[in-house]
């Protein structure tokens, strides 16, 4: 199942810089591992914001919840999720 996931990150202003750097490093490694496994299909930065729009390819809602809640930045995110399906007017037969 494909899901569009929008994530907006708000890190507390009083969080120490070294803690932020550690969380961001772990976040990057986790996100790249999910991309390598084909679970995190697309990752797009929203220009001018600490936010992204992503496409996940997972078996079901439970797997999506497990992957998202494993993000090191998860406690600092506002997340919106929408399931996706192929549009009948699309000229593509795959999900490029």
Token duo for residue 11 = 């890190």
1 Cβ neighbours under 8 A, 6+ residues apart: 57, 58, 59, 60, 64, 83
Closest of 33, 36, 44, 35 to residue 5, by C-alpha: 44
pLDDT, tens digit, 9 for 90 and up, residues 16-41: 999 999 999 999 999 999 999 999 99
Structural domains of the chain sorted by starting position, each given as residue range(s) with its CATH number in brackets: 1-7+38-87 (3.30.70.1060)
Taking the C-alpha atoms of residue 26 and residue 23, their distance in angstroms, rounded to an integer, is 5
Could you tell me the pTM of the whole model? 0.91
pLDDT tens digits, one per residue of 84-95 = 998 889 888 876
């Amino acid at each position: 199942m494909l899901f569009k996931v929008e994530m907006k990150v708000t890190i507390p202003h009083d969080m120490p810089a070294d803690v932020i750097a550690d969380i961001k490093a772990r976040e990057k490694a986790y996100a790249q591992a999910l991309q390598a496994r084909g679970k995190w299909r697309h990752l797009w930065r929203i220009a001018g914001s600490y936010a992204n729009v992503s496409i996940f390819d997972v078996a079901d809602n439970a797997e999506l919840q497990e992957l998202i809640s494993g993000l090191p930045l998860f406690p600092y995110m506002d997340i919106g999720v929408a399931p996706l399906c192929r549009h009948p007017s699309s000229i593509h037969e795959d999900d490029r």
